[in-house]
Amino acid sequence: MGHGTVKLRGKYFTPHVKQGDHVKQGDLLIEFEIDQIKAEGFEATTLVVITNTDQYLDVKAAASETVEQNDQLLRLTV
């Protein structure tokens, strides 16, 4: 949802989950106005950080570059 967009302080973002919520594939996490974010001078690149890798035997990227809705992003081995 952009690198450095925290500087927008939530402007152009509508979250649908909160910290601690459990989510599953297909759940709407957040909506954002990408054109407005880009107009403010921010990139649309989104970082993905896995903070609980110790709970998995392996975490591998399933995709690279651009992904679309419902694309598999990661492969987690439990």
State residue 15's pLDDT score. 95
Q: What pLDDT does residue 38 have?
A: 93
Contacts of 8 (CB under 8 A, 6+ apart): 37, 40, 42
Cβ count within 10 A of residue 17: 12
| pLDDT (0 to 100) of residue 41 | 94
Residue 64 has pLDDT above 80, yes or no: no
Q: What is the pLDDT of residue 48?
A: 84
Tell me which residue has tokens 């880009």. 38
Does the pTM surpass 0.75? The reply is: no
> Could you write out the three-class secondary structure of 30-46?
EEECHHHHHHCCCCCCC
Paired with 55 in beta bridges are none
Q: Where are the domains of the chain?
A: 1-46, 48-78
